[in-house]
């Protein structure tokens, strides 16, 4: 009996076609189309350069950074917050892992410590927002300086190079993480991004905490009154962001064979842009990992394509900013119409 | 009566899932205070929002002094001299009265704001209207009634010719109402046409000559209040005899399930003892702002009470937050679905399961199939009309949204269900279904605490009624024996002025089985 009912309703859902599809999915299709068009445009403009294998790998490496930071920001944005400290947490994690390796610590310990630091930085963001009551924008802006400052303090403002790691073997092992590739040329980091993305997508859509994140972002009051532990849920979202930032920091330090205290400066803004371009709502309650990946690809391809076509980095900034505001304006319009 | 000032013809307006207005016509003369009456959800507010440019109508024409006009924005409406004063006031609380009156178009001199002239002008307007407020006062420090008068002054300063007052007296005291009426009469003498929305019949009789009735989005008629009996008017508003609006039922009332003692929160809540029994519907009445919702929020753990003792089945329990309340089997369907009841951007299935996540998850993972099944079950049980489980609740009608709020709690097998204005903004048919649902729940032994501003609903549905006045219980009544007048008398606190005690019920054995028919 019940089975029949479920079947019937699913069929009804299917009948509703595009208009009744989940908003996230609709947006993913929209931004996905934009992505493909952008790809074709750049491929036509500079076929030899843009489609060259080295260039495509170059793009994917850029996308890896945007994606992993973007994952964390997706959690924050969906639960109605934001994380401006992601770029700084990323630099701090990079410094810690390389510093520890230079000091002779084993690879696994250094990585776990860096990840832990990232996680804790997220928890601290969450605490300052949820328990101390600072608004997310200001709290994470302030914590950005705290983490960036700590990163600078640890290395006295100077980069640390992996060539100073005592053991050549560990040097090589560490490099493989971010710079190594599979026999077919796909970087390991792409694999890590994909696997991590799948894990987070499952958490967001299939677990209790994931549902709570959506509920908090969509209507915090209603979520609290529904017996949801809003404080814990939101702290979790920030900790995912901090953790993601530290993964990103380790991969970038590995690929560049050095950790810079200035690494990831402004990346949080680009990761937010990627998430929002892909269809994550900047007002909370809507968006998923797929949206963010598509947005990250758009950002990566856009940057690379503009580079290849000789557009100066200053103009790139202006163009990306313009696209971001336009994308948000389109979303705001849709929101107004549906209310 | 003067000549016609304003006319709306054939106005229709639809929202997703509801036809809010269907071919409604309405007119106001110069210097007239025209009553607009109808039940909640009859379309009064929608009509007035169209008049003042908040919404645009799907069909229909609007005329001012026989000239057809297009009102497509609030600023356009203001240019045409139409202003509306909502129940929720639109003032900047940190600014002065004068700043608020001239907000958006301050008086300038050499490119700077001319404060001195602005205060003088503001004071002139206030004095002319007979409003005794200093233009320098900060709005935050004024009473609600005074703030309302500032709103009126603001409208008048914009050369308003048509003023809409949406339930202006809902939160005012008797003396403040007198002052407001005096101001309204001054405006009348200046030839300003007013629309007066109110539920209170005696007020309409005092201030209006004519009233128009809306029901279920349709125009029912316009009457001269002196020529019509109250019964006739109520009949026009309700559309059927009152008795038929509430399903017949018989209740079996058991032992006390939930009891709260000594609830105190700031100076808002001060309740000695409150209890509800198994299978009972406890009506909570009182004026808006009397503290009804605040008491329930304390019991549910949504607000922190300074002191409170709670007993479930006679055993003391602790409720510090909504999670604990839920764990003890208490549910709370809030007053404002959009503000704290629903996650509008999420779908039906998500919302129904929102308070049910713990039961649906195993090792942290949500059992989607079970969630879908649960949502299906309640869509079926409560006859929720939705195109699918994945429909965003934003796109559903008020009645269906309300049912989703209720299912959110019902799927947790609550023993005590607190419902706050459960039928606000939903149509008559949906109301009846909600009442039937409450009866079924009480049959199953659920205790229901129902806060409501609609007296017929309180009388028609509850067994016992508590009247709240200034955060305390000012009367406990038997719903079968009391009247609307008695409840209003207690709600306004007149018994206190007259030095009479609040009535109390002694629980007789004949209360155990009650039957309304």
Tens-place pLDDT, residues A251-288 = 999 999 999 999 999 899 889 999 998 889 888 888 99
Both structure tokens of B187: 């405006």
User: CA-nearest residue of chain B to A229?
Assistant: B323
Residues of A with CB under 8 A from a CB of B: 2, 5-6, 9, 12-13, 16, 20, 22-23, 206-212, 214-215, 218-219, 221-229, 281, 285-286, 338-339
Do the chains contact at B342 and A222, CB–CB below 8 Å?
yes
Phi, psi dihedrals of residue B6, rounded to the nearest 5°: -145, 140
Q: pLDDT by residue for chain B (517 residues), tens digit each?
A: 578 899 999 999 887 666 789 999 999 999 999 999 887 667 888 898 898 888 888 999 999 998 999 988 888 888 899 988 887 778 888 889 998 898 878 888 888 888 899 999 999 999 888 888 999 999 988 888 888 889 888 888 888 899 999 888 876 777 888 888 998 998 999 899 999 988 777 788 889 999 999 988 889 999 998 888 877 887 788 776 655 677 777 788 999 999 999 999 988 899 999 999 999 999 999 887 788 999 999 999 999 999 999 999 999 999 999 999 999 999 999 888 888 889 888 899 999 999 988 889 888 899 989 999 999 999 988 888 888 888 888 878 777 888 899 999 888 889 999 999 888 767 667 788 889 889 999 999 999 999 998 888 898 899 999 999 989 999 999 988 888 888 888 888 888 878 888 888 876 544 444 444 4
Whether B27 and B219 have beta carbons less than 8 Å apart is answered as no
Q: Are B340 and A221 inside 8 Å of each other by CB?
A: yes
For A203, nearest residue in chain B (alpha carbons): B365
Q: What angle do CA B514, B515, B517 make, to 5 degrees?
A: 160
Q: What is the pLDDT of residue A4?
A: 35
Question: For position A150, what pLDDT does the model report?
Answer: 96
pLDDT higher than 50, residue A77: yes
Residues of A with Cβ-Cβ distance to B325 under 8 angstroms: 227
CB contact under 8 A, A281 and B361: no
> Which fold is adopted by the domain B4-243?
Rossmann fold (3.40.50)
B368 contacts A206? CB cut-off 8 A: yes
**B347 contacts in chain A (CB < 8 Å):** 22
Residue B260 makes CB contacts below 8 A (sequence gap 6+) with B271, B273, B274, B275, B298, B299, B308, B309, B310, B311
The shortest C-alpha distance from B313 to chain A (Å) reads: 22
Phi, psi of A162 (to 5 degrees): -70, -15
E strand or H helix at A106: none
Do residue A208 and residue B342 have CB atoms under 8 angstroms apart? no
Domain B244-329+414-516 has CATH 3.40.50.300: yes
Cα nearest neighbour of B319 on chain A: A227
Chain centre distance of CA B388: 30
Span A124-149, pLDDT tens digits: 999 999 999 999 999 999 999 999 99
Question: E strand or H helix at B451, and its extent?
Answer: strand B447-451
Whether B357 and A212 lie within 8 Å, measured CB to CB: yes
Closest-CA distance, A11 to chain B, in angstroms, reads: 9
**Averaged pLDDT of chain A:** 88
**Considering only A10-19, A28-37, A59-68, B83-92, which range has the smallest mean pLDDT?**
A10-19
**CATH 3.40.50.300, chain B: domain bounds:** 4-243, 244-329+414-516
From residue B153, give the alpha-carbon distance in Å to each of B51, B198, B447, B506.
20, 21, 47, 50
Contacts of A208 in chain B (CB under 8 A): 357-358, 360-361, 364-366
* Averaged pLDDT for residues A196-225: 92
Smallest Cβ distance to B332: which of A23, A219, A225? A225
Chain B interface mutation, best of A8, A225, A337, highest count of B Cβ atoms under 10 Å: A225
Phi then psi for B158, rounded to 5 degrees?
-95, 20
pLDDT tens digits along A219-252 = 998 998 888 999 999 999 999 999 999 999 999 9
Q: Kindly state the average pLDDT of the residues A176-191.
A: 88
Residue of A1, A219, A336 to mutate, interface with B, max B Cβ within 10 Å: A219
Please state which of the ranges A44-48, A78-82, B210-214, B384-388 shows the lowest mean pLDDT. Answer: B384-388
Q: Which residues of B touch A16 (CB under 8 A)?
A: 387-388
Q: Quick one: pLDDT at residue B507?
A: 61
pLDDT of residue B275: 94
Contact at CB, A224 and B380, closer than 8 angstroms? no
C-beta atoms of B388 and A286 within 8 A: no
Distance between B350 CA and the closest CA of chain A, angstroms: 8
Distance CA B178, CA B202 (A): 13
With CB atoms and an 8 Å threshold, state whether A227 touches B323: yes
Asked if pLDDT for residue A300 goes beyond 90, the answer is yes
The yes-or-no verdict on residue A107 having pLDDT over 50 is yes
Give the closest-approach CA distance of B200 to chain A in angstroms.
Answer: 31
DSSP state of B503: P
**CA angle in degrees (0–180, nearest 5) for A226-A232-A236:** 125
Q: Give the strand order in the sheet containing B67-69.
A: B67-69, B59-64, B4-15, B18-29, B218-224, B210-215, B33-37, B193-197, B162-166, B82-85
Whole-angstrom Cα distance, residue B406 to residue B436?
A: 13
User: Dihedral of CA A182/A186/A189/A194: which sign?
Assistant: negative
Do A208 and B361 count as a contact with CB atoms less than 8 A apart? Answer: yes
Minimal CA–CA distance to B5: which of B67, B47, B83? Answer: B67
Cβ distance B322 to A207 less than 8 Å, yes or no, reads no
Chain B contact residues (CB < 8 Å to A): 300, 302, 321-323, 325-327, 332, 334, 339-347, 350, 353-355, 357-358, 360-361, 364-366, 368, 372-373, 376-377, 380, 387-392, 394-395, 408
Q: Which domains does chain A have, with CATH numbers?
A: 35-338 (1.10.3470)
CA nearest neighbour of A28 among A290, A296, A204: A290
Ordered DSSP codes for B314-376: TEEE---SHHHHHHTTEEEE-S-IIIII--TTSBHHHHHTTT-HHHHEETTEE-HHHHHHHHH
First to last CA, chain A: 36
Q: What residue of A is the nearest CA neighbor of B297?
A: A225
Q: How many CB atoms lie within 10 A of CB A18?
A: 8
- Mutation pick from B327, B330, B341, B346 vs chain A, by most beta carbons of A within 10 Å, is B346
Whether B354 and A6 lie within 8 Å, measured CB to CB: no
Q: Bridge-partner residues for B15, per DSSP?
A: B18
């Amino acid at each position: 009996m019940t089975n029949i009912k479920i079947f019937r309703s699913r069929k009804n859902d299917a009948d509703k076609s595009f208009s009744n599809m989940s908003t996230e999915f609709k947006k993913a299709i929209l931004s996905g189309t934009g992505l493909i068009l952008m790809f074709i445009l750049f491929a036509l403009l500079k076929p030899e350069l843009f489609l060259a294998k080295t260039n495509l790998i170059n793009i994917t490496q850029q996308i890896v950074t945007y994606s992993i930071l973007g994952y964390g920001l997706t959690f924050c944005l969906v639960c109605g917050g934001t994380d401006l400290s992601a770029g700084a947490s990323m630099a701090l994690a990079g410094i810690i892992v390389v510093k520890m390796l230079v000091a002779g610590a084993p690879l696994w310990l250094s990585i776990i410590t860096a990840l832990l630091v990232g996680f804790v930085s997220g928890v601290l963001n969450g605490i300052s927002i949820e328990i101390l009551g600072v608004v997310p924008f200001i709290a994470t802006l302030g914590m950005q300086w705290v983490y960036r400052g700590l990163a600078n303090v640890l290395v006295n403002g100077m980069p640390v190079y992996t060539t100073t790691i005592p053991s050549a073997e560990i040097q090589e092992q560490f490099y493989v993480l971010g710079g190594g590739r599979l026999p077919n040329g796909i970087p390991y980091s792409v694999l890590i991004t994909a696997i991590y993305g799948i894990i987070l997508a499952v958490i967001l859509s299939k677990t209790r905490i994931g549902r709570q994140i959506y509920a908090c972002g969509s209507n915090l009051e209603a979520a609290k009154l529904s017996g949801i532990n809003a404080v814990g849920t939101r702290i979790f979202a920030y900790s995912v962001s901090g953790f993601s930032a530290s993964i990103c920091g380790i991969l970038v330090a590995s690929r560049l064979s050095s950790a810079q205290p200035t690494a990831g400066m402004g990346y949080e803004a680009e990761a937010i842009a990627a998430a929002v371009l892909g269809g994550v709502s900047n007002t909370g309650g809507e968006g998923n990992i797929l949206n963010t990946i598509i947005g990250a690809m758009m950002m990566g391809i856009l940057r690379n394509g503009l580079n290849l076509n000789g557009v100066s980095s200053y103009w790139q900034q202006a163009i990306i900013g313009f696209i971001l505001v336009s994308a948000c304006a389109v979303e705001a319009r849709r929101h107004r119409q549906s209310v | 009566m003067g000549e016609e000032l304003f006319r709306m013809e054939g106005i229709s307006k639809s929202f997703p899932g509801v036809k809010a207005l269907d071919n409604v016509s309405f007119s106001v003369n110069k210097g007239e205070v025209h009553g607009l009456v109808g039940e909640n959800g009859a379309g009064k507010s929608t009509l007035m929002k169209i008049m003042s440019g908040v919404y645009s109508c799907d069909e229909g024409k609007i005329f001012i002094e026989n000239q057809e006009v297009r009102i497509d924005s609030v600023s356009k409406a203001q240019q045409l001299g139409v202003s509306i004063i909502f129940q929720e006031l639109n003032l900047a609380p940190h600014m002065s009265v004068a700043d608020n009156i001239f907000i958006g178009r301050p008086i300038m001199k050499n490119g700077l704001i001319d404060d001195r002239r602005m205060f003088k002008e503001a004071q002139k307007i206030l004095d002319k209207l007979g409003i005794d407020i200093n233009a320098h006062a900060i709005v935050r420090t004024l009473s609600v009634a005074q703030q309302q008068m500032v709103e009126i002054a603001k409208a008048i300063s914009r050369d308003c010719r048509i003023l809409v007052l949406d339930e202006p007296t809902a939160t005012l005291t008797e003396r403040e109402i007198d002052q407001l009426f005096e101001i309204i009469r001054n405006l009348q003498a200046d030839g300003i046409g007013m629309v007066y929305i109110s539920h209170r019949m005696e007020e309409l009789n005092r201030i209006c000559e004519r009233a128009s009735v809306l029901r279920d989005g349709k125009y029912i008629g316009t009457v001269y209040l002196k020529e019509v009996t109250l019964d006739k008017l109520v009949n026009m508003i309700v559309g059927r005899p009152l008795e038929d609006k509430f399903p017949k039922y018989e209740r079996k009332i058991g032992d006390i399930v939930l009891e709260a003692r000594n609830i105190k929160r700031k100076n808002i809540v001060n309740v000695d003892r409150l209890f509800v029994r198994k299978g009972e519907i406890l009506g909570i009445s009182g004026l808006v702002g009397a503290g009804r919702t605040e008491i329930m929020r304390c019991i549910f753990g949504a607000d922190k009470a300074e002191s409170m003792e709670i007993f479930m089945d006679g055993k003391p329990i602790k409720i510090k937050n909504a999670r604990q309340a839920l764990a003890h089997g208490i549910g709370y369907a809030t007053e404002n679905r959009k503000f704290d009841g629903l996650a509008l951007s999420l779908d039906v299935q998500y919302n129904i399961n929102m308070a049910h996540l713990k039961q649906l998850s195993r090792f942290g993972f949500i059992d989607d199939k079970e969630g879908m099944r649960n949502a299906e079950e309640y869509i079926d049980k409560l006859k929720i009309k939705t195109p699918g489980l994945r429909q965003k609740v934003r796109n559903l009608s008020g009645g269906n949204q309300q049912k989703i709020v209720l299912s959110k709690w019902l799927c947790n097998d609550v023993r005590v269900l607190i419902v706050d204005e459960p039928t606000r903004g939903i149509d008559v048919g949906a109301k009846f279904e909600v009442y039937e649902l409450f009866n079924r729940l009480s049959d199953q032994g659920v205790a229901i605490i129902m806060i409501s501003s609609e007296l017929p609903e309180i009388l028609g549905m509850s067994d016992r009624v508590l009247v709240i006045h200034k955060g305390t219980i000012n009367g406990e009544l038997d719903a079968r024996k009391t009247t609307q007048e008695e409840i209003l008398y207690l709600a306004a606190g007149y018994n206190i002025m007259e030095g009479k005690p609040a009535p109390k019920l002694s629980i007789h054995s004949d209360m155990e089985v009650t039957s309304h028919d």
